[in-house]
Chain A
Amino acid sequence: NAGVTQTPKFQVLKTGQSMTLQCAQDMNHEYMSWYRQDPGMGLRLIHYSVGAGITDQGEVPNGYNVSRSTTEDFPLRLLSAAPSQTSVYFCASSYSGQGLARNEQFFGPGTRLTVL
């Protein structure tokens, strides 16, 4: 199993550009989520999904869009990049059995994004 994969690893954007961060998992996990990690802030939840066709907002959703058309993929779209979106982005997935939060999350390797 590849686990959770993310592409690209690094990206530099100009203000106003749009792009999609890709996330895929091959563990048949129902739950997938996106976090951003900023110095001194810890991991903050952007969006999450409890299954294909279902998405919801986390703590910091503004400026981001997600979709979940398949169980495996959960892309994160930046609609119009801003310098405040410079961050490291992590995708995570987990099994939903025994209750959503009672299963460990598996994290991808991260995407380091810089918006100029």
Chain B
Amino acid sequence: ILNVEQSPQSLHVQEGDSTNFTCSFPSSNFYALHWYRWETAKSPEALFVMTLNGDEKKKGRISATLNTKEGYSYLYIKGSQPEDSATYLCAFHGGGADGLTFGKGTHLIIQP
């Protein structure tokens, strides 16, 4: 079983502030790292799929970086809005025949 850790577990942020959180994964046998956004009562939706060391991806106010050598990825949200409140999941794939291994998520609450 692969160890994919996300921190912090939960986070309260004031509206307008920027924030970031971490996903740690095994640094050996890296193949891909996914980020998903999961709103309450909905299904997870993909934000980014990252495959190369040093990758930086951006979607609106949300961006992510990837360091495969040290085994971590950061997700950044700039100028948080109430609609950013959700659980953010990362998922690691080590290139084997099986599927993604998900972290437990960071639960983000944006306070007006």
Contact = CB atoms under 8 A, between A and B. Distances in A.
A43 B89 contact: yes
A4 B77 CA distance: 28
Interface residues of A, number: 26
Interface stretch (A64-72, A75-83, A102-110): A102-110
A99 interface: yes
Contacts, number: 61
A45 B43 contact: no
Given A59-B1, A101-B31, A107 B99 contact: no
A48 B93 CA distance: 14
Contacts of B89: 42-43
B31 A104 contact: no
Given A42-B104, A58-B99, A101 B93 contact: yes
B110 interface: no
A29 interface: no
A41 B31 contact: no
Interface of A: 4, 33, 35, 40-45, 48, 56, 58-59, 90, 99-110
